[in-house]
Amino acid sequence: RAMVFWGHAPNSQTRGAEMKKAMEKLDLLVIVDPYPTASAIMHDRTDGVYLLPACTQFETYGSVTASNRSLQWRDKVIDPLFESLPDHTIMYKFAKKFGYDQEMFKNIEVNGDEPLIEDILRELNKGMWTIGYTGQSPERLKDHQQNWHTFNTTTLKAEGGPADGDFYGLPWPCWGTPEMRHPGTPVLYNTSKPVAEGGLTFRARFGVERDGVNLLAEGSWSKGSEIEDGYPEFTADMLKQLGWWDDLTEEEKVAAEGKNWKTDLSGGIQRVAIKHGCAPFGNAKARSVVWTFPDPVPIHREPLYTSRRDLVEKYPTYEDRKSHYRLPTRYSSIQANDFSKDYPLIHTSGRLVEYEGGGEETRSNPWLAELQQDMFVEINPADANDRGIKDGDMVWVNGPEGSRIKVKAMITRRVERGVVFTPFHFAGHMQGEDRRSKYPEGADPYVLGEAANTVLTYGYDSVTQMQETKCSLCQIEPA
């Protein structure tokens, strides 16, 4: 029984007290990170824990993808410090040790123990046709990096130079092969531009009709489209029916036969569709009735841990069931219990500006650590007065599943009466115990604190299985 935490903060996950017990039942626990993270210290293991130091972004190079779907190429600033290694080197060494390195890296050049990062991106490009993460070759990204000055900072479009017409970072979908020179798609579903210039329609992902209702677009298409109506996703047969098959090269015809836009790895089907002004994945209506979800149209369902028992009957949660066909997930069996008498405060959590994620990196930065030196709970003045709590007092936040955290009280009207807020970026304390001594010498962050998720409770989204971090219950008392 082994667990590998690779660049992951366990204190960003709910049910921290249960996670601690689970870690202690493992035979092997491995942490791959530039920092030890809470994974190294939240449990009481005495052996079977390995810390593998990974490089920071400054000690390696390659591409990074941002939330706007753009990619950037970055260069190494310094060589790896001490015995740290880049992630891709660690992954190669694992593969080599387990004996499948020849299969995993058969298309990737390896220099010593370090795979060539450019080849890794090329392999990613070949395997991500469904989202258009295919045209951003290392060479194109390097051109962008070396010619920042040619990009308009408002439109993000290059004006002249080697990347002329490209949108910075080639935001996906960047269709087809790099040789197609698609400029990227800066704004999704913008039909005012041709697809070849970054325009896009809605994807025809769910067929052409349902229960007799047309799912394809009606009276809407991207600028310059030769099909002025809705259409399904492109296939080899569709190209033949449209009379566009001969736009493929002979080599592309061989590769495209019997395929569709996402399985034709030559890129020919995508290239021809775009040549005729069409989006390779079709042109459909936006899906507002999601018949594959438990609730086809969103409705309110009371949280599992709710202080409004009067709303449970009107807005019940789901029955307990298996998610994704196999994972038992509890809903109604938890909501049936009334925790609100003993835990009357709504507990929500979120972020701070000065810290990020689990906080190990940012709390180890002296300039950021100075900005917020204590884990805290925001509590409304009325709730604080009812409990004899003053601003700056140490308090216990008790959760309905039996765990608790010891934090400072911040009295503020930013939260309503009956609601408390905690940030989730802290670790190093566990239910009142300071665990600084458990960090490797010299590796402890400047700022430690309780993890909010130690007291946040069970609850998972019915579709994504995302944890519930925004709505639980608690009680607060002076420490």
Contact status, residue 355 vs residue 425, Cβ threshold 8 Å: yes
User: What integer pLDDT is reported at residue 324 of this predicted model?
Assistant: 84
Count the neighbouring beta carbons within 10 Å of the beta carbon of residue 346. Answer: 22
Q: 363: Cβ–Cβ under 8 A, 6 or more apart, which residues? A: 355, 369, 425, 426, 445, 446, 447, 448
User: ∠123-128-131 over CA atoms, to 5°?
Assistant: 150
Question: In Å, what is the CA distance from 139 to each residue of 58, 63, 82, 146?
Answer: 21, 11, 31, 11
474 sits in the region (left: phi over 0; alpha: psi -120 to 50; else beta) called beta
430 bridge partner residues:
433
Q: Describe the strand order of the beta sheet including 49-53 as a list of residue ranges.
A: 2-6, 28-33, 49-53
Q: How far is CA 96 from CA 4, 89, 90, 105, 315, in A?
A: 17, 10, 10, 10, 53
Could you read off the pLDDT of 283-292 as tens digits, one per residue? 999 988 999 9
Domain ranges within the chain, ordered by starting residue: 59-180, 204-275, 345-478
Query: Quick check: pTM over 0.75?
Result: yes
CATH topology of domain 345-478: Barwin-like endoglucanases (2.40.40)
CA-closest candidate to residue 221, choices 269, 171, 270, 282: 282
For residue 325, the model assigns a pLDDT of 84
109 near 120, Cβ under 8 Å?
A: no
Beta strands 419-423 and 404-411 are unpaired
Closest CA to 207 of 289, 284, 309: 284
Instruction: Please state, in angstroms and rounded to a whole number, the distance separating the CA atoms of residues 464 and 233.
Output: 25
Q: How many angstroms separate the most distant Cα atoms in the chain?
A: 81
Question: What pairing do the DSSP bridges indicate for beta strands 404-411 and 394-398?
Answer: antiparallel
Alpha-carbon distance of 443 to 44, in angstroms, equals 18
Spell out, as residue ranges, where the chain has pLDDT lower than 70.
none
The helices-and-strands tally (H runs, E runs) of the chain is 11, 20
Q: In angstroms, rounded to a whole number, what is the distance separating the alpha carbons of residues 37 and 54?
A: 12
With vertex at residue 270, the alpha carbon angle to CA 269 and CA 276, rounded to the nearest 5 degrees, is 95
Question: What sign for the dihedral angle of Cα 16, 20, 23, 25?
Answer: negative
Residue 61: which of 7, 116, 108 has the closest Cα? Answer: 116
* Opening angle at CA 22, ends 19 and 27, nearest 5: 140
- pLDDT 10s digits, 239-278: 999 999 999 999 999 999 999 999 999 999 999 999 999 9
